[in-house]
Structure 1
Amino acid sequence: MAGALAVGHPRCILISRALRVRHLSVWSSIWTETGSSTKTTTSSSSKSSSTSSSKAEHKKLTNRLSAVVDAVNERKLPAELRGRGNAIRSETDIANVVEQRIWHSMEEGHFENLPGKGKPLNLDTNPHVDPAEDMLYRILSRNGCAPEWVELNKEIRSNISEWRLALQKAWTSKVVQEGSHWEQESERLKALMRDINGKVLRYNLMVPFGRQIFGLKWEKEIDKLQ
């Protein structure tokens, strides 16, 4: 069968041993139950001894099976992380091993003569997005249009820039004229800020994952001016 492991493969050997231990455990329990049902005339001391022996055998088989499972899991790890006993291996450890292997391959020149080297990238399609969504974006691009979230992003950035200029002007007027119209102007700017944050919320709900932006915070903007 295509893709099947060879019979002598170490993983196959470990799996076979695990199955063998499991079969031994099952037959041992069956044998124990059968033996206990037929020997109805044995004394209480012999029954106690048989039960103790059965528990010891079961514990021994369990330990063997656990060792086999640990060995199988050990073989799934990169060679750099094997042989550490019960040490905890995180995803960061595996990522570090991958990065080290990439750097070693780069130093040895394994990435020098890859197919397509020196040629422009094909950016007609994006393999990381939904095919239907990618098709819609390409149709918009061919017709000189942009997605709604792109246009909304431009609008938000323009609004934020104008709002900050107005805030800076009002703050300067407050400092020079000792806050003659600051209360009214601050209320107007806070209302505009709420409108901008509403657009930011709508933008974050429609934009692709990872492109979300933060809204305005009054205290933070004031701290920048002080």
Structure 2
Amino acid sequence: MNRWESLIDQKIREAMEQGEFDNLAGKGAPIDLSENPFEDPGWRTAHRLLRNAGFAPAWIEERKDIEFEIDAARNQLERVWTILQNERGTKDESDAKSRWERALASFRQQAIQLNRRIAAWNLKVPSAGFQRKRIDAQREIEQVSIRRT
């Protein structure tokens, strides 16, 4: 903790000890977070109507779409991996291996496409804290083989 944080903590503690926070308006009541204080008042009603109807800002909807596609790509890869594992030592193993190689190529291509979408999406979000990491295709492939072994 640096000295400024210590000084601030000390001042807050002294104010609490002197009872300066005892009679604040709304003490003990839940905080009303239904209104966004940073929202343009002219848009407040429209945003409330959309939110109540289940709509979200476009960048949030797009994030859901990206996550759905990532999950679908992972699930497809896991299905093919499971088939490969089940057909090990059988006469169909070579077919399963070639299917696995095609699945790997497809997944890598999907990862490239998704990473492009993620890069574009990261430019749209209102704050860097909402940005999403890109997909590391090799790491994802390794995770599938670890989880399914």
TM-score by length of 1: 0.49
After the TM superposition, which of the residue ranges 159-168 and 95-104 deviates more from structure 2? 95-104
Q: Verify: 1:214 aligned to 2:121, yes or no.
A: no
Q: State the identity %.
A: 29
Q: Which residue of 2 aligns with 1:203?
A: 121
- May I ask how many residue pairs the two structures share in their alignment? 133
3-state DSSP of counterpart to 1:114 = coil
Q: Verify: 1:140 aligned to 2:59, yes or no.
A: no
Deviation track 1:152-206 (CA, whole Å, cap 9, x = no partner) reads 1211222222222112222233344352311111111112222222222222111
Contact kept? 1:174, 1:182, Cα under 8 Å: yes
Name stretches of at least 5 consecutive residues in structure 2 with no aligned partner.
89-96
- The alpha carbon displacement at 1:141 in A equals 2.8
Q: Verify: 1:112 aligned to 2:22, yes or no.
A: yes
Q: Which has the higher contact order (CA 8 A, sep 6+)?
A: 2
Name stretches of at least 5 consecutive residues in structure 1 with no aligned partner.
1-90
Contact kept? 1:156, 1:196, Cα under 8 Å: yes
Cα distance in 2 for residues equivalent to 1:135 and 1:205: 25
Report the structure number with the largest CA radius of gyration: 1
Matched ranges for 1:56-135 at <5 A: 92-106=2-16, 109-127=19-37, 129=38, 131-132=39-40, 135=42
Q: Which residue of 2 aligns with 1:72?
A: none
Task: Call closer, same or farther: CA 1:138–1:174 in 2, change over 3 Å.
Answer: farther
Contact kept? 1:174, 1:180, Cα under 8 Å: no
Contact kept? 2:115, 2:134, Cα under 8 Å: yes
Question: What amino acid maps onto 1:99 in structure 2?
Answer: D
Cα distance in 1 for residues equivalent to 2:82 and 2:27: 56
3-state DSSP of counterpart to 1:214 = coil
Task: Call closer, same or farther: CA 1:181–1:137 in 2, change over 3 Å.
Answer: farther
TM-score by length of 2: 0.70
The root-mean-square deviation of aligned C-alpha atoms, in Å, is 2.7
Cα distance in 2 for residues equivalent to 1:155 and 1:107: 51
Q: Which residue of 2 aligns with 1:35?
A: none
Question: What amino acid maps onto 2:62 in structure 1?
Answer: L
Question: What amino acid maps onto 1:189 in structure 2?
Answer: F
Q: Verify: 1:162 aligned to 2:72, yes or no.
A: yes
3-state DSSP of counterpart to 1:181 = helix
- The alpha carbon displacement at 1:207 in A equals 1.1
Contact kept? 1:200, 1:213, Cα under 8 Å: yes
Question: What amino acid maps onto 1:97 in structure 2?
Answer: L
